[in-house]
């Protein structure tokens, strides 16, 4: 198969490109390098089945050319990271909504099987844990900028399902839950690479709030395995799947665990939300996926537990620092 990955120079996309090339597919990547990096795909440039185009999904001719050559598209290009979204809400809306609209247009023109990356953020403040794909979504008011990301991704889901219903486009939506692993950068706010970096430098780990909020972290290798299986699964279309771990940890425990695993002398510094983000920031207390649907459909469950995830990230950061 020939697969186009938008955002393929990013953290998740570059791991997906690795996996697809390894099993004999060919891959083209379209990435504007806004948050992705050439370093992530440098080794792949030599591969005969790989090509890289520097551009965004708003580059109509490039997108059209690449889609015309592809059997399938995995759409990962998006504005990501809480910090970035708070700083650039207009750009976030344009990138996420107009980008996905353009992508779906190209996929429809060439009948490409399409995987759309969505996010656990769409569940918002729902308290119906664990979050199930058919559950209600509870977003905060629009004057709280953090909800921009969830709202744009939700609109992407509506656009994608409409394209599927109206033109029979073979399509799958993936709601990703706190994906972590090597190559992830802490520059855009993600907690795990930030903590690992702070621990390795002997700096205090900055826990926002009191650290009692929880998350479930899923290793990128598990996530990529789910994506590859969804590409292979062509019988069910127009479906939404949660992809994530259901092993819940508080952010305070996470910080303690990282200090221990990295053998670090760092302390923990608690930072009020108003100092960490903008005043009035609403953090999510808990976030846990129900993954029974994807397990039933393609037999996917995550295999990496937190100790192995942390060891992988610590090893990667140590190596990158040398």
Sites of contact with ligand UDP (CB under 6 A): 82, 178, 189-191, 194, 206-208, 213, 215, 251, 283
From residue 150, how far is each of 134, 154, 275 by CA, in Å? 16, 6, 22
Select 108 or 252, whichever has its Cβ closest to ligand UDP: 252
Q: Which residues pair with 74 in a beta bridge?
A: 5, 115
Give me the catalytic one of 123, 149, 208, 241: 149
Helix-helix angle 251-261:191-201, to 10 degrees: 40
Minimum CB separation of residue 178 from ligand UDP in Å reads 5
Backbone torsions φ then ψ of 250, nearest 5 degrees:
-80, 155
Percent of residues in the chain assigned helix, strand, coil, to nearest 5:
45, 20, 35
Among 147, 321, 180, 320, residue whose Cα is nearest residue 258? 180
Minimum CB separation of residue 233 from ligand UDP in Å reads 27
3-state secondary structure of 164: helix
Minimum CB separation of residue 215 from ligand UDP in Å reads 5
Select 63 or 192, whichever has its Cβ closest to ligand UDP: 192
Select 34 or 206, whichever has its Cβ closest to ligand UDP: 206
Is 149 labeled as catalytic in the residue annotation? yes
Minimum CB separation of residue 16 from ligand UDP in Å reads 20
Select 15 or 215, whichever has its Cβ closest to ligand UDP: 215
4: Cβ–Cβ under 8 A, 6 or more apart, which residues? Answer: 27, 28, 29, 30, 66, 67, 69, 70, 72, 73, 74, 112
Supply the residues annotated as catalytic: 149
């Amino acid at each position: 198969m020939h697969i186009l990955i938008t955002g393929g120079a990013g953290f998740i996309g570059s791991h997906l490109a690795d996996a697809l090339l390894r099993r004999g597919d060919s891959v083209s990547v379209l990435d504007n390098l806004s948050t992705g990096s050439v370093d992530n795909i440098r080794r792949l440039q030599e591969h005969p089945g790989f090509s890289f185009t520097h551009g965004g999904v708003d580059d109509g001719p490039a997108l059209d050319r690449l889609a015309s050559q592809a059997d399938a598209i995995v759409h990962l290009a998006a504005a990501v990271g809480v910090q970035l979204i708070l700083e650039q809400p207009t750009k976030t809306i344009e990138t996420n909504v107009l980008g996905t609209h353009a992508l779906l247009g190209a996929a429809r023109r060439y009948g490409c099987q399409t995987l759309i990356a969505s996010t656990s953020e769409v569940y918002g403040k729902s308290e119906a844990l664990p979050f199930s794909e058919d559950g209600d979504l509870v977003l905060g008011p629009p004057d709280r900028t953090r909800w921009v990301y969830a709202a744009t991704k939700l609109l992407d889901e509506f656009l994608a399902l409409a394209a599927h219903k109206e033109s029979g486009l073979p399509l799958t939506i993936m709601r990703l839950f706190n994906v972590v692993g090597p190559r992830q950068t802490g520059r855009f706010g993600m907690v795990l690479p930030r903590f690992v970096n702070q621990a390795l430098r002997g700096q205090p780990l900055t826990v926002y709030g009191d650290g009692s909020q929880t998350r479930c972290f899923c290793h990128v290798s598990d996530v990529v395995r789910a994506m590859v299986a969804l590409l292979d699964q062509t019988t069910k279309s127009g479906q939404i799947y949660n992809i994530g771990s259901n092993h819940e940890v508080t952010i305070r425990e996470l910080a303690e665990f990282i200090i221990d695993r990295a053998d670090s002398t760092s302390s923990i510094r608690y930072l009020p939300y108003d100092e960490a983000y903008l005043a009035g920031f609403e953090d999510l207390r808990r976030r846990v996926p129900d993954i029974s649907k994807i397990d039933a459909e393609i037999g996917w469950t995550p295999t990496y537990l937190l100790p192995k995830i942390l060891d992988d990230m610590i090893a990667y950061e140590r190596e990158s620092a040398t």
